[in-house]
C-alpha cells in the first residue's frame, strides 16, 4: 500500500483535551517510529509564542486527523478546522496566526521597511589596538566577510565587546578610538587533564570536551575540578599552569583568635574536618563562625607550602558544631 504524503494534525491541551492548534505536515519516507514519521506534528521547534505558552502551561496531546496525497486537500481540511474552532483573535480557542491553507504569516510594510533599514546600517570595524580597520555597508556584509553570526555581531555591538580581535560600532568613531569604552572580554577555554592511578594523563581542551567523552555534564567535571574528588576513577586538574597558579587559602581560628590550621581551599578544609565545605566558605565570606571556628581567606601562591601539625583528619565535637543558622547544621560523619 502506497503511503500518503500529507497529513493534518491537531494539538490538544493535555488537561481537558480541547484543541489549541491546527497544522499540516509531510510524512517522512524513512522513519523508526510513529513520532518520527510525523515529525512536524510532534516537533516543538518553530512555534509561535502563543503556542509555547499554551504548551508550557497545559501540555500537549497530538492527534492526526487526516491523510491525503494532495496538498491542496490537506490545506482545505486545515482551513475548515481553523474556521470551526476559530483563532483567539476571532474569539476562538486556537493559537494559529493565520487562517491556514498555506496563508503564511507576513509582516506589515512598515515592519519590513524597518527590518531592511536595520540590516543596511553601516558597520565600522576597529582592530584590538584601536585603529580603524574597515567600513562595511551592512551587517550581512560584515558577517559574510568576517565569518560571524548575526547574533554574535549584535551582541558585540550592543555590549561593546571585542570578538575575534575586532571591535564593532554603528557610529564612525574616527581613525583611532578610546579602548576604555569597550570591554575586552573574550570567551576562553581552560584545558584540563585526567590522571589515572598509574599516572597516565589524558588532556582535554575544555570541560565540555571531557564531558562529551565520559557522557556526563560539564557541571560534573567543574565540580570535581573544584573539590579535588575523583570521577570515573580519575583525578582531574587544570592543565595550564596559569589556571592553577593562585588559590584561595583559608585559615581556621579558635574563638580566642589563635590559628588552628591553614588549608589550600575551603573544599580541602571540608575534606580534612569531614564536614560541608559550603558552610566553611560562607563563614569566611560573611565573617560568621562555622563549626565552632572562625574562618578567613588569604592569598596562596602555588609554590608556597602549607605547614600543618596534623597528620590525620580531625572530627569536630558535636558541641562545637555551631553555625549561625541551625537549619543548615550538618553533623560530621
The pLDDT tens digits of the residues spanning 226-255 come to 777 888 888 888 876 544 444 678 888 888
Residue 246 in contact with residue 300, Cβ under 8 Å? yes
> How distant, in Å, are the alpha carbons of 64, 92, 98, 267 from that of 13?
14, 14, 20, 48
Q: What is the pLDDT of residues 7-16, one digit of tens each?
A: 999 999 999 9
Boundaries of every domain in the chain:
6-90, 111-181, 192-238, 246-328
Residues shown for the chain: 333
CATH number of 111-181: 1.10.10.10
Query: What nine digits make up the cell of 47?
Result: 512555534
Residue reference for cell 504569516: 105
Domains 111-181 and 246-328 share a fold: yes
What is the dotted CATH code of the domain comprising 246-328?
1.10.10
Q: Residue 46: its pLDDT value, please?
A: 87
C-alpha 83: how far from its chain's center?
Answer: 41
* Mean pLDDT taken over the chain: 78
Torsion of CA 236, 238, 241, 244, to 10 degrees: -90
| CA pair distance 211, 34, nearest whole angstrom | 32
One digit per residue, the tens of pLDDT, for the chain of length 333 reads: 446 789 999 999 999 999 999 999 998 877 788 888 888 899 998 899 899 999 999 999 999 999 998 888 999 999 999 999 999 888 899 999 888 876 555 566 777 777 776 677 888 988 888 888 888 888 888 888 888 888 888 888 888 888 778 888 888 888 877 777 666 554 566 788 888 888 888 888 888 888 888 888 888 888 888 777 888 888 888 876 544 444 678 888 888 888 888 888 887 888 787 777 778 888 888 888 888 888 888 754 443 434 344 434 444 443 343 333 333 433 344
Q: Please tell me whether the overall predicted TM-score, pTM, comes out greater than 0.75 for this model.
A: no
Amino acid at each position: 500500500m502506497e503511503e500518503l504524503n500529507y497529513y493534518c494534525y491537531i494539538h490538544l491541551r493535555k488537561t481537558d483535551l480541547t484543541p489549541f492548534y491546527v497544522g499540516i505536515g509531510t510524512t517522512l519516507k524513512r522513519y523508526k517510529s510513529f513520532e518520527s514519521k510525523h515529525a512536524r506534528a510532534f516537533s516543538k521547534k518553530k512555534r509561535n509564542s502563543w503556542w509555547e505558552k499554551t504548551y508550557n502551561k497545559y501540555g500537549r496531546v497530538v492527534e492526526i486527523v487526516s491523510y491525503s496525497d494532495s496538498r491542496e486537500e490537506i490545506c482545505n481540511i486545515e482551513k475548515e478546522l481553523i474556521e470551526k474552532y476559530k483563532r483567539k483573535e476571532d474569539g476562538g480557542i486556537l493559537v494559529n496566526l493565520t487562517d491556514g491553507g498555506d496563508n503564511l504569516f507576513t509582516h506589515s510594510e512598515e515592519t519590513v521597511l524597518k527590518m531592511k533599514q536595520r540590516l543596511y546600517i553601516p558597520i565600522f570595524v576597529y582592530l584590538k589596538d584601536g585603529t580603524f580597520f574597515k567600513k562595511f555597508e551592512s551587517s550581512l556584509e560584515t558577517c559574510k566577510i568576517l565569518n560571524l553570526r548575526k547574533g554574535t555581531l549584535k551582541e558585540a555591538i550592543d555590549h561593546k565587546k571585542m570578538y575575534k580581535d575586532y571591535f564593532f560600532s554603528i557610529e564612525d568613531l574616527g581613525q583611532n578610538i578610546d579602548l576604555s569604552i569597550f570591554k575586552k572580554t573574550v570567551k576562553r577555554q581552560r584545558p584540563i587533564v585526567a590522571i589515572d592511578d598509574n599516572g597516565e594523563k589524558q588532556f582535554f581542551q575544555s570541560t565540555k570536551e571531557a564531558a562529551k567523552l565520559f557522557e556526563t555534564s560539564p557541571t560534573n567535571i567543574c565540580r570535581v575540578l573544584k573539590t579535588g574528588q575523583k570521577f570515573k576513577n580519575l583525578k582531574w586538574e587544570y592543565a595550564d599552569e596559569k589556571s592553577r597558579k593562585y588559590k584561595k587559602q583559608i585559615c581556621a581560628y579558635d574563638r580566642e583568635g589563635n590559628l588552628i590550621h591553614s588549608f589550600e581551599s575551603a573544599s580541602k578544609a571540608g575534606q580534612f574536618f569531614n564536614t560541608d565545605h559550603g558552610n566553611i566558605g560562607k563563614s569566611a565570606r560573611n565573617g560568621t563562625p562555622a563549626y565552632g571556628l572562625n574562618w578567613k581567606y588569604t592569598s596562596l601562591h602555588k609554590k608556597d607550602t602549607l605547614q600543618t601539625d596534623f597528620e590525620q583528619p580531625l572530627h569536630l565535637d558535636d558541641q562545637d558544631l555551631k553555625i549561625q543558622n541551625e537549619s543548615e547544621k550538618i553533623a560530621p560523619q
